[in-house]
Amino acid sequence: MKISILTLFPEMFESIFTQSIMKRAQKSGFVEIKIHNLRDWAIDKHKMVDDRPFGGGPGMVLKVDVLHAAILDLKEQNSDAKIILLTPQGEKYSQQRSEQFSQEKGLILIAGHYEGFDERIRDYVDQEISIGDYVLTGGEIPAMVIVDSVVRLLPGVLGDENSASTDSFSAGSDKLGCPQYTRPEEFDGKKVPDVLKSGDHAKIEKWREEQTKKRTQQRRPDLI
Ligand code: ADE
């Protein structure tokens, strides 16, 4: 999969994509991630990417001509990609949507800033996504959230033992995860449940299922 990210703050992505699973996924060729600076498509000599809104009001608005030029070029480099605009006005992101995105050949993620985008850019994107009902200073963190959640679903990225197929919220699962423990066996008077140390795999499996059900019922009855 090829992922192109359009942003005014490319440095924000440096640490997140050069560590751990994201780093390995790129090194092993499962995904190619490229960060592009929107300013590279600025048209005038002042490298302006935003301007005051018509009609007045606070803040600046990202220019449609600059965004459009960038999208055209990125589309040429990542031809079958789905173009996604990050905005609090978009569809709320979910595990189901990340599963769909992970089937795409490519993604172009557009992170906005300031007061927003010129409305007309909406005609040149395939989808608008919000990561939740809160407003961030820009679309960079939402873009990171999407990349992380999609890349870990690409076949081969997670080892078998970490398979994404059993994730909470995934299509086959309507439940939260079960409680997990590791050493020490006792901490601050709190003991690891005996069943987990019994070596009886059928019993352990049954206990985990029950715990999963109970926890989901208590915390997220809406998932059942
Ligand atoms: N930009 C600012 N806030 C956002 C959000 N919640 N989701 C996506 N993009 C955003």
Q: Which one has a higher pLDDT value, 167 or 123? A: 123
User: Which pLDDT score is estimated for 62?
Assistant: 96
To test ligand 1's pocket by mutation, which of 97, 125, 131 has the most ligand atoms within 8 angstroms of CB?
131
Distance spanning both ends of the chain, measured CA to CA: 33
Asked about 183 being catalytic, the answer comes back as no
At residue 64, what is the residue type?
Answer: V
**Domains of the chain, CATH where assigned:** 2-151 (3.40.1280.10), 174-223 (1.10.1270.20)
Q: Is residue 60 pLDDT above 60, yes or no?
A: yes
Asked about 160 being catalytic, the answer comes back as no
User: Which pLDDT score is estimated for 168?
Assistant: 80
User: Which pLDDT score is estimated for 161?
Assistant: 54
| pTM score, whole prediction | 0.94
Q: Is residue 166 pLDDT above 90, yes or no?
A: no
Residues 198-211 pLDDT 10s: 999 999 999 999 99
Of the listed 104, 115, 128, 148, which one is catalytic?
115
The verdict on the CB of residue 134 being under 6 Å from ligand 1 is yes
User: Which pLDDT score is estimated for 170?
Assistant: 77
User: Which pLDDT score is estimated for 98?
Assistant: 97
The residue among 112, 108, 122 whose CA lies nearest residue 1 is 108
Of the listed 88, 118, 140, 142, which one is catalytic?
88
